[in-house]
Amino acid sequence: MLRLTDSEGSTISLDLTPTHVALMCSESEIYSWDRSGRLLSYFDGTSHFWRGLSGEAVLRRTTTDHGKQVRRLAPAYADTVVREAQQRCALRQWRDVEPLAYDRIRYYDPAQDRQSYRTIYGRIPIFPPDAYLSVVLQATVGCAWNRCTFCDFYRGEGYRVRPPEQFRAHAVAVREFLGDSALLRKRVFLGDADVMGVGTKWLEKDLQIASEVFPDRPCQGFCEAVSVLRRKSTDLQRFRMLGLARVAIGAESGHDPLLALWKKRSRPGDVAEAVTALKHAGYSVGVIFLAGVPAEFEAAHLADTERLAFRLGLGEGDLVYLSPLVPSVNGVEQANALHTVLRPLEANGVRIAAYDIRQIVY
Ligand code: SF4
């Protein structure tokens, strides 16, 4: 930790780690950047600003009554925070210590970086919260199903699978784009909507490519239960051996009529069978349940979701995500009610976590 003096004579602290740079001007003014000079976060004493690689940012504030306010910021607005942070870090004293890190932060161009991001990725609308600070690699783009009525993440977008050699070129482009900031990202998220939606041989090849380009990082991805059920147990074991360690399954609800109404392809029976197969093959699993369903379905949704969750054989290392629908009038209340009935799972080592899709930025 370095102690420096700013232009007004105040002492500020600078922390230079292998993965990031943090500047603490006071308890209510803290910045952090990755090792490529991109602003990651800013805390002003009451609000937390998180910025993703896309340039989008989220502002989270705890209100005086301990509630939470979340606001997404457009890139142009987020850029003003980037510029202010750049001004704040402009202390020649630390340039002498680490000129490369200093120059990368000081002369980082957010508009140019966004352009590079768009060229490589297009759009990453969603991934699970535990994939935050992963390297996202798009083996596929979009969602092959794209019909669930509650989901518009990929609405209007075509679906395509990248053949392995195209996927390799994409992974190499991501590595170049991330530069030294890749050190911060300890896992790979294999996008987009269904990691097992591609053929067995291609998925094996994709996993090999991911571990060659980003070594020593376990892979994870979203997964449709029906796609798991198409695999032989030996395929699941082979994917596991090749580095696919965790999958997140959108179960959404245990109440089948609601899933039929939502045009969900995988049903509760599929989810139960798929999770059993995955656990048997050594995966850790995240299961996503939605909250904020219409009042006429609420009682059945809570009861059937509880029943399904306890059938899944979840244990140590597994996750249950409770995700309020956006928009919904009672999403948070229903998520709390689900948390209450599912709490006994925690005794088995299952973590139950909130999944607020408004806070996801890559
Ligand atoms: S399968 Fe998943 S990503 Fe595709 S439409 Fe349904 S919820 Fe959305």
Protein residue with least CA distance to atom 6, ligand 1:
148
If one residue of 123, 127, 146 were mutated to test the ligand 1 pocket, choosing by the most ligand atoms within 8 A of its CB, it would be 146
Q: Is the per-residue pLDDT at 318 higher than 90?
A: yes
> 331 CA to middle of ligand 1, Å?
19
Query: Using a 6 Å cutoff on CB, does residue 288 contact ligand 1?
Result: no
Q: What is the mean pLDDT of the chain?
A: 95
Protein residue with least CA distance to atom 5, ligand 1:
146
> 154 CA to middle of ligand 1, Å?
8
Q: Is the per-residue pLDDT at 222 higher than 80?
A: yes
If one residue of 123, 143, 195, 258 were mutated to test the ligand 1 pocket, choosing by the most ligand atoms within 8 A of its CB, it would be 143
Domain extents in the chain: 2-110, 123-359
Query: Using a 6 Å cutoff on CB, does residue 142 contact ligand 1?
Result: no
Query: Using a 6 Å cutoff on CB, does residue 146 contact ligand 1?
Result: yes
pLDDT bucket at 99, cuts 50 / 70 / 90: very high
Query: Using a 6 Å cutoff on CB, does residue 148 contact ligand 1?
Result: yes
> 321 CA to middle of ligand 1, Å?
16
Can you name the CATH fold of 123-359? TIM Barrel (3.20.20)
> 306 CA to middle of ligand 1, Å?
22
Once rounded to an integer, what is the mean pLDDT over residues 146-158? 95
Using CA atoms, how far apart are residues 138 and 177, in angstroms rounded to an integer?
14
Nearest ligand 1 atom to the CA of 150 is 7
pLDDT bucket at 8, cuts 50 / 70 / 90: confident
> 155 CA to middle of ligand 1, Å?
9
> Among residues 248, 79, 202, which one has the least CA distance to residue 210?
202
Nearest ligand 1 atom to the CA of 222 is 2
Query: Using a 6 Å cutoff on CB, does residue 151 contact ligand 1?
Result: yes
Furthest C-alpha separation in the chain: 67
Tokens of 320: 């249950």
Question: What pLDDT score does 86 carry?
Answer: 95
> Among residues 213, 23, 205, which one has the least CA distance to residue 105?
23
CA distances from 122 to 119, 240, 285 (A): 6, 28, 28
| 8 Å CB contact between 197 and 140 | yes
pLDDT digits (tens, 9 = 90+) for 243-297: 999 999 999 999 999 999 999 999 999 999 999 999 999 999 999 999 999 999 9
> 200 CA to middle of ligand 1, Å?
21
Question: What pLDDT score does 92 carry?
Answer: 82
| 8 Å CB contact between 247 and 221 | yes
Using CA atoms, how far apart are residues 206 and 244, in angstroms rounded to an integer?
10
Question: What pLDDT score does 7 carry?
Answer: 78
pLDDT digits (tens, 9 = 90+) for 160-211: 999 999 999 999 999 999 999 999 999 999 999 999 999 999 999 999 999 9
CA distances from 292 to 30, 87, 280, 302 (A): 35, 43, 32, 11
Question: What pLDDT score does 4 carry?
Answer: 87
pLDDT bucket at 5, cuts 50 / 70 / 90: confident
pLDDT digits (tens, 9 = 90+) for 14-65: 999 999 999 999 999 999 999 999 999 999 999 999 999 999 999 999 877 7
Once rounded to an integer, what is the mean pLDDT over residues 338-352? 98
| 8 Å CB contact between 282 and 236 | no
Of all residues in the chain, the percent with pLDDT exceeding 70 is: 100
